[in-house]
Structure 1
């Protein structure tokens, strides 16, 4: 594997012409790149993109935005080393990829640059198998959030972000939540008790994110009910892959998602380079 088997461009149209089919070929594994690259395509881009291959044979890709970790699809150790060599001289704050790929690239980058690599983020990816509503279903129903619900959506997204220790965005408009659709679970007296967001469908994939229930209402089945609601809506809209991420250390949420039909796919790690 040679470093010049990697091709780079700042033109997202060129990147998609070469790597778009491969990007869409694994919609679950490529969930974050699919939604991020679609946003960059429609809203403008300041990023570098790359793909691995010769001719029409593409087997991997990456993209890098200023002040963000490098995002890489699944690579072998040899391919990770070749990419690190190809990017030598570029300033990287870190890398996010499937566990083995992230570790291999970090090791190669450390050899080349001397930078220390510190794992700071780990998430587990699930894909929906057979949707299985929990029993019993809590009293109430799902309701898609409307414009008048915006303040509550923002407030609960901020609370979710604080719970998972996620840094705030500069504003709602540029946050990762702004372009999602949100659904509430409401009790019979029309009180919202839980909320789930979902991405727009890209490449047949919809990602459920975030799922939030206020602390004093947890353990009553509301999170499972609203997750089923948005998952069912995604399937009804034609999604072939409905996915979500969890913190692997959160045994409660992992058990919940497995009960309603989500199946583990793979884990991702984010390393910061110091």
Structure 2
């Protein structure tokens, strides 16, 4: 039983394909990151089965896919060959805790998340005022500004410019806006590219002045329906467990819990 590592997404896909395809929901972070990750890793059992995967992106921040606690503990002394010592780690709670404790380094939890998967999409009742529409090129400046607000709100270090980031999503038809009755955009939601039949809703954001009117619910329902209409088998999203409002919102739309996730930062 051993960990192996590569910087080749093609090599990783070839070795870990069965494990990734067996549970794309639990492997969603690795599936999303594998084409841009600096390092990719897989845990192989004695019989040759892959039962754990990870992707390192950005540098020093491993994201775990589905893996056993045994695999997580075994990873600790490896220090991800070819990569810097991790400063953070993210993944399912049990695996992250097993890894963090095995390193012997001091660490602190930074975020507790819950992964949800859409069951039967349930439109909001009553529906919020206004309508959904796909974002267009003219919306790029507004959406880029909102994306920066979103990054700050969730505690991320915001980028200087999100123009390219949002242009990609708008050009590919993956970002929806909710318009108030007067035509003003008041909320947004996006969905990732589809990989292994799964796609993840993200960038759900309503400016503070527009909150409390159900606009985020409308935007999320619209982008979720668009994903289903496009043939996505599993529509996923993450919520912050510290935000009961968003957790309740997604449940009302038909999202159901899959696993809890934890992010930790090493403090020494």
Is TM more than 0.5 here?
A: yes
Q: Distance in 2 between matches of 1:66 and 1:125?
A: 21
Tell me which residue corresponds to 2:142.
Answer: 152
> Is 1:35 matched up with 2:25?
no
Tell me which residue corresponds to 1:195.
Answer: 188
How far apart are residue 266 of structure 1 and its match? 1.1
**Equivalences for residues 110-129 of structure 1 within 5 A:** 110=104, 115-129=105-119
Q: Distance in 2 between matches of 1:152 and 1:173?
A: 10
Residues 155 and 174 of structure 1, relative CA distance in 2, 3 Å threshold: closer
Tell me which residue corresponds to 1:164.
Answer: 154
Tell me which residue corresponds to 1:10.
Answer: 7
Give the TM-score, by structure 1 length: 0.88
Q: Deviations over 1:174-226 (max 9, x none)?
A: 76x56432111112332111111111111111111111111122111111111
How far apart are residue 10 of structure 1 and its match? 2.1
**Which residue of the other structure, out of 73, 78, 96, is the alignment partner of 2:70?**
78
Q: Distance in 1 between matches of 2:167 and 2:34?
A: 16
How far apart are residue 88 of structure 1 and its match? 7.2
Give the TM-score, by structure 2 length: 0.89
Residues 149 and 178 of structure 1, relative CA distance in 2, 3 Å threshold: closer
Residues 170 and 186 of structure 1, relative CA distance in 2, 3 Å threshold: closer
3-state DSSP of counterpart to 1:244: strand
Q: Distance in 2 between matches of 1:109 and 1:178?
A: 40
How far apart are residue 117 of structure 1 and its match? 1.4
3-state DSSP of counterpart to 1:107: helix
> Is 1:57 matched up with 2:49?
yes
Q: Deviations over 1:64-110 (max 9, x none)?
A: 24633112223333222222133377522121111111000001111
Tell me which residue corresponds to 1:26.
Answer: 23
RMSD: 2.0
3-state DSSP of counterpart to 2:34: helix
Q: Is the 8 A contact 1:69 1:272 kept in 2?
A: no
Residues 170 and 25 of structure 1, relative CA distance in 2, 3 Å threshold: farther
Residues 268 and 92 of structure 1, relative CA distance in 2, 3 Å threshold: same
Residues 69 and 134 of structure 1, relative CA distance in 2, 3 Å threshold: same
Q: Is the 8 A contact 1:69 1:96 kept in 2?
A: yes
Q: Is the 8 A contact 1:122 1:270 kept in 2?
A: yes
Which consecutive unaligned segments of at least 5 residues does structure 1 have? none
Which deviates more from structure 2 when the two are superposed, residues 85-94 or residues 216-225? 85-94
Q: Is the 8 A contact 2:151 2:157 kept in 1?
A: yes
Tell me which residue corresponds to 2:91.
Answer: 97
Q: Distance in 2 between matches of 1:192 and 1:174?
A: 20
Which consecutive unaligned segments of at least 5 residues does structure 2 have? none
How far apart are residue 260 of structure 1 and its match? 0.9
